Structure 1
Amino acid sequence: MRAEDVLADQQNQGQFNGVTVRKGTVGAFLANARLWLDESSGIDDKAIAERDILDALPALHALGLFDIVQVRDSALRELVSASAACPG
């Protein structure tokens, strides 16, 4: 399967397990995770990255990302796991 088989080029979002997921969600999560984990990132940048990570988690869980991929960093893994335990 190719990316365009999941979302056509002209599509910007899709429904996955009842959740609207925008194109780019996984890429944005990875960029925010890198920033959040970077010790040289400023506190304000880390706070924004964490907010954006938390906002993306329902979509990432709906995609089943964490059923396939394990987060190696323990702090980020805890953030992801805690969000899965909290409904809503």
Structure 2
Amino acid sequence: MRAEDLLPDEQNQGQFNGLTVRKGTVGAFLLNARSWLDPASSADQRKDAERDIVEALPALHALGLFDLLQVRDAKLRELVSRPAA
């Protein structure tokens, strides 16, 4: 399956396990995780990245991302394993 088979160019979101997930959610998570883990990031950048990661967790779990992939960094793994608020 190719990306466009899952979400065609003209479609920006899809339903996965009963949750609407926007196109780009996984890519945004990866960028935010890199920023959150980067020692060169400012405290504000890390705070913003963490907020965005936490907000995306329901969608990432609906996609099953962490059922297939394990996060290497222990602190990030703990963050993404927190129960939903």
- TM-score tier by shorter-chain length is over 0.9
- The TM-score, its normalising length taken from structure 2, stands at 0.97
Which segments of 5 or more consecutive residues in structure 2 lack a partner in the other structure?
A: none
SS in 2 for 1:14: strand
- Which residue number corresponds to residue 59 of structure 2? 59
SS in 1 for 2:15: strand
Which segments of 5 or more consecutive residues in structure 1 lack a partner in the other structure?
A: none
1:71 aligns with 2:71: yes
Task: List structure 1 runs of 4+ shifted beyond 6 angstroms.
Answer: none
1:52 offset after TM fit, Å?
0.2
- Which residue number corresponds to residue 2 of structure 1? 2
Distance 1:66 1:6 in 2: 19
Identity level (%): 72
Count of matched residue pairs: 85
Distance 1:37 1:12 in 2: 28
Distance 1:13 1:80 in 2: 22
1:41 offset after TM fit, Å?
0.3
1:20 offset after TM fit, Å?
0.5
Distance 2:10 2:40 in 1: 37
SS in 2 for 1:20: strand
Two-structure CA RMSD over aligned residues (Å): 0.8
